[in-house]
Amino acid sequence: MPFAQDELRWDLACGIGSDGHWHGWFDVQVHADTLRRLGLHPDQPTAEAVGTSPPGWWHAAAERRATKRPR
């Protein structure tokens, strides 16, 4: 892993959503100086997707999988 243990911070928040089901959220933070070591920096332009977008069925299938509850 390119990061030392003290260069990363992650948190997990859980709660009941508006639909009445439990949800969890991860928050991952990396210090800017740590990213500079990998060639990333705050002044870098925003990344943009290159190439064509996947077909519509692919997006629909991904959304179904994301909202499907595990058994």
Per-residue pLDDT band at 52 (split at 50, 70, 90) = confident
Q: What's the confidence (pLDDT) of residue 40?
A: 80
pTM greater than 0.85 (yes/no): no
Q: Report the candidate in 27, 40, 43, 32 with the shortest Cα–Cα distance to residue 7.
A: 32
The sign of the CA dihedral 48, 54, 60, 66 is: negative
Query: Is the pLDDT assigned to residue 1 strictly greater than 60?
Result: no
9-36: per-residue pLDDT in tens?
A: 889 999 998 899 999 988 888 888 888 8
